[in-house]
Structure 1
Amino acid sequence: MKAYSKLNRIWADKVLYLMLLPCLAYFVIFHVWPIIGMKLAFYEYRILGDNVYVGLKYFRELFSTPIFSNVLANTLIISAMKMFLIFPIPILFALMLNEFANGKFRKAVQVVSYLPHFLSWVVIAGVWFEFLSPSTGAVNDLIKALGFPPQDFLTDKGSIRWVLIASEGWRSIGWDSIIFLAAIMGVSPSLYEAAYVDGASRWHIVTRVVLPHLYVPMVTIFILNVGFIMNAGLDQVLNFTNDSVNSQIDIIDTYVYRVGLINGQYSFATAANLFKSLIGVVLVLSTHFISKKLTSKGAW
C-alpha cells in the first residue's frame, strides 16, 4: 500500500521528475559510470591484449614518489584556504543583500555578483592577468601611486596562492550566496513582527531570527566542502600556473592530468585519482556523523 501511494505521488509530479532526468543522466554518465573504470588502478594498462592485475603496485609507487607529498600538501593547503576563508563570505553577502531596502538595487547587485560564475577560468584568468599586471594593472598602479615598487603577483611564490583565493572568491561568492538568500527569504514575516514588538534591534533580528534559519544550509554546505577538500580546482590552477610558481600550486588533479593524459601512465594516474576520491568520501561521512553527534544536523 505504501509503495502504491509513492507511485501515485511520483505520477502526480511526473513533470517535475521528467525535468530532473537530464540532471540524473549527467551524473550517471559522468560521475557514476566512470567509477567502474577505477578498477584500472589495480591493473597494468595495455593497449593490446588484456590488462594484467598487479594489486596495489601503483599505490605503492604513488606513495613512494617524492613529488606526491608536495602535491598532496599543496592540495590540502589551497583547499583549506578556500574552505575557511571563502566559506563565510557568501553568508555575509546574503545577509547584506537582505538588509537592502531598495529592491531594485538589491536585484542589480545580485545580477552583477552572479555573472563571474558563468565565465570560464580562461576568461577569469585573463581578467586577473590584466588586473595584476606589473606594468598596466590597477593593483600595481595603486602600489606605485603609494611610492612602492610594482609586484608581479603571478610569478611570486608567496602571492600566487592568495591570487587563487581572491579569484575564486570573486567568481563564486555571489552564486554561492543564493542558497543562503533563499533560506533568509523563507523566514516567516511573523517572526520579524514579533521581534519588532519585543523591541529587538536590527542586529538582534539578524543574530536571533535570521541566522538560526541558516544553520542547516551552513552545516550541509560545510560538510560537502570538506568532502571536496581534495579538489583544489584543476581548471583554475591550469590557467594560473607557470614555471615560477608551479611548486606552490601543483595539486593532485594537475598531477593526474600531467601523468595520465600527457605521459600516458593511465593506471598510475587512476590510482592517484582513486586515492583522492576515497579520502573525499571518508571526510564527508566523518564530518556528517560528527555534526550529527554535536548539533543533531548533518548533510541528510
Structure 2
Amino acid sequence: MAYLLQQLANAVPVAALYAALAFGYAVAFGVTRRADITYGALFAFAGQMLLLFTDVGYNRLILVLPAALAFGVLLAFLYTTGAGLLIGRVVVRPLVARSPNTVIVAAFGVLIVLMETAWLALDTRTVWLPPFFNTRVVFWTDGAFEVTLTQIQLFNTAVMAALVLIGAGVLRYTTWGRIWRAVTDEPLAAELCGVSAEKVFLVAYGSAALVATVCGLLSTSYYGTMDFGAGLIFGLKVLMVAAVGGYGNPLKSAGGAAVLGATETLWSAYGPLIWRDLVIFSLLVLLLVLSRRERIIP
C-alpha cells in the first residue's frame, strides 16, 4: 500500500509537467493549425541555456551557486522566450499565412538550428547542475517506509499547476481569451470584425514559448541536465495527447496529458521500464484512432 502511495505521489509532478506542456501547445496550435515540434525544441533549449549560463556564472564569473543559478535562469529565460517570439514572427507566421503545410518542414529546420546552437555553445559537453532543494517532505509513514516528495518537486508542481490554472482563467474570462477563440475558429471573420489576427498569433505563440521555457527550466533544475532527445520525446507525447484531447480546448488537452503522465509513472513502477515508451506511444496511437474525427483543417 505504501509503495502504491509513493508511486501516486511521484506521478503528481510528472502529471503537472505534461499538463502544462500540453496546455501551452494547444494554445499555439489554435493559431497555427499544424503539428509543430518546435515546441519540444524550445523546452530542451531552455534547459540547455540554463546549464550553459549557470556554468558560466559559477566557473567563469566566480559567483556563488544561488547567484549562478539566478544568472542562468534569467538569461535562459530571455534567450528562449526571445527565440520563441522570433521563430513565431519570422518563420511560423509567414508560412501559416502562405503555405501552412510547410510549417511542419520548417519546424525540423528550427529544431536543428536550436540543437546545434546549444550543442556548440556548450562545447559538446554534458553539464549537470548540483542537487538543491532536495529536502524530503513526508506525507505518510508506514513503519520504516515513508511516502515523500522533495521540496523542488512540490515547487515545480505548484508553478506548473498555476500556469495551467491562470492560463485557463485568461482564456475563459478575459477579452483576450474570447479574441483567441474567435481567431482559432475563423481568423478571416475575426479580422473583418476588427481583430488583428497577426497580433493574436504572436501573443499566442509567445505564450506557448513562455510555458515551454518555464517547464524546461523547472525540469532541468529537478533532473539536473537536459538534452534535445528528452525534449523531443516530451514534445511528441504532448503533441499526440493534445490531439486526443482536442486542440480546441487547452484545458482538456492538459487533463489528458496529466492522465498520460500518471500512467507513465505507474508503468515505470510496475512494468518493464524498457517497454515504457513503446507502450505509451502505442496507447496514444490507439486513442488517436479511436477518437479520430473526420474534419478538414484549412
With normalisation by structure 1, the TM-score equals 0.32
Structure of higher CA gyration radius: 1
| Higher RCO structure, 1 or 2 (CA under 8 Å, sep 6+) | 2
With normalisation by structure 2, the TM-score equals 0.32
